[in-house]
Chains A and B, each alone.
Chain A
Amino acid sequence: MRIVTRPLADPVPILEHHPDLVWLGPDLQLIGFGTFARLDPAVGPDRFVKAHEAFRGRLSELEAHDEVQTFGSGPLMFASFSFDENSHGSALVVPELVVGCRRGQWFYTSIGDHDPTWLYHPAGTGLGSADRPRYAGSSIPDLEWLEAVDRALELIEDGALEKIVLARDYAVWSKSTFETRRILERLHNRFPECFVFSIDGLVGASPELLVRVRGSGLESVTLAGSARRSTDPAEDARIASELLGSDKDRREHAAAVRSVDEVLSPLADRVFRDPDPVLVDLANVRHLATRFRGTLEPTRSVLDVAGRLHPTAAVGGTPRPAAVEAIRRLEGMDRGRYAAPVGWTSLDGDGEFAIALRCAELSGARARLFAGAGIVSGSLPEAELEETRIKLLAMLQALEVGNG
C-alpha cells in the first residue's frame, strides 16, 4: 500500500460530501474521508507524545510519495484530546483520503488507491429537515455553578490559586439528528477567522491557536479576558476600550501569557510575543490576545508542544496543578474534549492545534455544549455566569433552525 499526495486542478466543494473529519483554518482547509486507522493514546501526561508515536508506528511500513510538499500535505492524523489527562475519550483518526487547500492550492493525500474525482460529482445526499435545539439540562444547576465560582474565589483569596477557569455544560436534544455539515457551514460563515473543526462528533469554532508548527517555525496565540460585542458601534467601541483598560481582564490575560511563556521558552529559541495584548473581535464576543512566534528545537513535534502547553491558564488556571485539581472538585462534570487540544499533525510533526472552545459534542439528536469563564480576584459570579451564557449562545445559534 502506498501513500500519494497529488495536486488537484480544481477546487473541491468542501462540505458538500459530508466529510468525516474537518479542519477549516483561515489559511488551510483540510477534510478527511474514511478511516485508515483509529488510534488510542490512552491516558496520562505523555498521551500527546504517545499519540504521535502511535501515528508514526502505524504508517512506518508504508511508502509515501508527496508531489505537493506544502503545509498539510502528506498523511495526516486528526486528533481531539480529552481535557483531563485521567479521562479516556481522546479521538485520533487517520483518514484514508485527505483533501486540502492551502492559500488556493488544492491537493489530496490518499492512503491506498483512492480516486478523489468523485468529489467533483454532486453529492447524493443533501441536508435533512431540521428541528430546533431543545434544552435538556446541565450537569450541575446554574445555582450550584455560581456557588462553585464563589468557592473558587475563596481559594484565590486564600492564595491557593491565582486564576481558575470554570466551565459548565448545557445539554440539548432535537426531534431530528443534528447535522454536522449544517452546523459547520454556520460556524464557518459566522466565525471565518476561527478554526472550525469536526472530529469524531466534536464540532466547534475555536479562535485560539494553541500551537502551529511548520518545520522549525512555531506560533501560538493566547486568548484570555473577554467582553461582549454590541450592535451599536459607539457602545461596541466603549466596551473594547473598557476591556483593554480592565484591570481584572489584564490580570487574567497576564496569567495566561505567563503560563505559555514558561512552556515555550525552554522549547524554542528566540520566542517573540506581542508586548501588549491586542483585541480579537469575533461576531459575538471580543478577546484580549497575545501572539507568540519562535524557532522550535528540531526534535519537537506539534503534539509534543501541545501536550506541554495543555491546559494553558486560558482554560485551566494558575498554578496549573492546583487549578486542574480544583476544576475536578468544583465543576461537577467531566469536560470530555472541551477546552482541550484539537487539530491535526503530519508524520514529521508539523501541524496545527487549537483549543476546543465554542464546541458541542454531537451524538445523533443530542448535543452537549460547553462554555467557561476565567475567575480571578475581583470576579463576580453572576458576571461569569453571564459570560458563559453569551458563549453558549454562539453554539446554540449554530444548532438553531434557519440560522443559515
Chain B
Amino acid sequence: MSEPLDPWDRAVLEAMNVEDELVTLDELSRRTGISSTILEALAREGLLIGSPGDTGPLYRIGDTEAISAGMELLGSGLPLAELLELARRMNEAMQPIAQDAVAVFERFVRDSVEATATTDTEAATRLTEAFRTMLPATGRLVDHHFRRLLIASAERRLLERG
C-alpha cells in the first residue's frame, strides 16, 4: 500500500498537470486533423503518452506540437514506417535515461529541499520552482544535444561521401 504523498511532492505532481489541457483522443484528432487511427497507433507504440481519465486515457494538448512535427517529417518525404522505427528506438533509449534523471532530481534536489526547508509550504514552493525551471531546461538541453548529434552525423556522412 503506497503512503500518502508529502505535501511538497503533491505540489510537484500538480505542477506537472497544470500546464496542459487534457483531452480525449478523438478531441486530439479533431484539433490536429490527424485521423484517430494514426493517433491510436502512436499511443500503442508509446509515442503518445496518455494520462488516466474517467472514460479512457487523456492526452495533453501540448502533444499536438510533437504530432505536428512528426507530420512535417512525413510531409518532407520520410516514410511513416521508418519514422516509427526511429521513434521506437529513441523511446527505448530515452526511457532509462528519463528514469535516471528523475532519480537524480529526487536525490540531489528533492532530498536537499526536504532537508533544508523550514516549512512544508517553503519546501513545496522551492520544489515546484525547481521543477518548473529544470523541466524546460532539460528539454532545451536534450533538444540542443540531439541537434548537434544530427549535424555531426550528417557532416561525417557528407565528408565520407566526398
- Residue positions of A touching B, CB distance < 8 A: 135, 138, 141-143, 146-147, 150, 380-382, 385-386, 388-389
A385 to B80 alpha-carbon distance, docked (Å): 9
B81 x A141 contact (CB < 8 A): no
B41 x A382 contact (CB < 8 A): yes
Q: Can you list 30 A-B pairs, Cβ within 8 angstroms, ordered by A? A: A135-B79, A138-B79, A142-B79, A142-B80, A142-B81, A143-B38, A143-B74, A143-B80, A146-B37, A146-B38, A146-B41, A146-B80, A147-B35, A147-B37, A150-B37, A380-B44, A381-B37, A382-B42, A382-B45, A382-B84, A385-B80, A385-B81, A385-B84, A386-B81, A386-B84, A386-B85, A388-B81, A389-B81, A389-B82, A389-B85
In chain B, what residue has the closest Cβ to A381? Answer: B41
In chain A, what residue has the closest Cβ to B36? Answer: A150
Which residues on A sit within 8 Å (CB–CB) of B80? 141-143, 146, 385
- Residue positions of B touching A, CB distance < 8 A: 35, 37-38, 41-42, 44-45, 74, 79-82, 84-85
Excluding A146-B80, A389-B85, 4 further A-B contacts by CB distance (< 8 Å) are: A142-B80, A143-B38, A146-B41, A147-B35
In chain B, what residue has the closest Cβ to A388? Answer: B81
- Tell whether A141 pairs with B41 under 8 Å between CB atoms, given A146-B80, A385-B81, A385-B84: no
Which residues on B sit within 8 Å (CB–CB) of A138? 79
By secondary structure, the A interface counts as helix
Which residues on A sit within 8 Å (CB–CB) of B81? 142, 385-386, 388-389
Nearest Cβ on chain A to B118's Cβ, whole angstroms: 52
In chain A, what residue has the closest Cβ to B42? Answer: A382
Nearest Cβ on chain A to B91's Cβ, whole angstroms: 13
Which residues on A sit within 8 Å (CB–CB) of B38? 143, 146-147
Nearest Cβ on chain B to A359's Cβ, whole angstroms: 19
Nearest Cβ on chain B to A140's Cβ, whole angstroms: 11
Which residues on A sit within 8 Å (CB–CB) of B44? 380, 382
A143 to B44 alpha-carbon distance, docked (Å): 16
B37 x A141 contact (CB < 8 A): no
Which residues on B sit within 8 Å (CB–CB) of A135? 79
Which residues on A sit within 8 Å (CB–CB) of B41? 146, 380-382
Which 6 A/B pairs are nearest by Cβ-Cβ distance? A142-B80, A382-B41, A389-B81, A150-B37, A142-B79, A385-B81
Nearest Cβ on chain B to A267's Cβ, whole angstroms: 39
Which residues on B sit within 8 Å (CB–CB) of A147? 35, 37-38
A71 to B148 alpha-carbon distance, docked (Å): 62
Q: Which of A135, A138, A143, A389 counts the most chain B CB atoms within 10 A? A: A143
In chain B, what residue has the closest Cβ to A385? Answer: B81
Which residues on B sit within 8 Å (CB–CB) of A381? 37, 41
Nearest Cβ on chain A to B82's Cβ, whole angstroms: 7
Nearest Cβ on chain A to B68's Cβ, whole angstroms: 14
Which residues on B sit within 8 Å (CB–CB) of A382? 41-42, 44-45, 84
A388 to B74 alpha-carbon distance, docked (Å): 18
Nearest Cβ on chain A to B74's Cβ, whole angstroms: 6
A389 to B80 alpha-carbon distance, docked (Å): 10
In chain B, what residue has the closest Cβ to A150? Answer: B37
Which residues on A sit within 8 Å (CB–CB) of B84? 382, 385-386
Q: Which of B38, B45, B79, B84 counts the most chain A CB atoms within 10 A? A: B79
Nearest Cβ on chain A to B117's Cβ, whole angstroms: 46
A238 to B19 alpha-carbon distance, docked (Å): 42
Nearest Cβ on chain B to A9's Cβ, whole angstroms: 50
A146 to B81 alpha-carbon distance, docked (Å): 10
Nearest Cβ on chain A to B75's Cβ, whole angstroms: 10
A386 to B45 alpha-carbon distance, docked (Å): 11
B79 x A141 contact (CB < 8 A): yes
Nearest Cβ on chain B to A388's Cβ, whole angstroms: 7
A381 to B37 alpha-carbon distance, docked (Å): 8
Nearest Cβ on chain A to B114's Cβ, whole angstroms: 42
Nearest Cβ on chain A to B37's Cβ, whole angstroms: 4
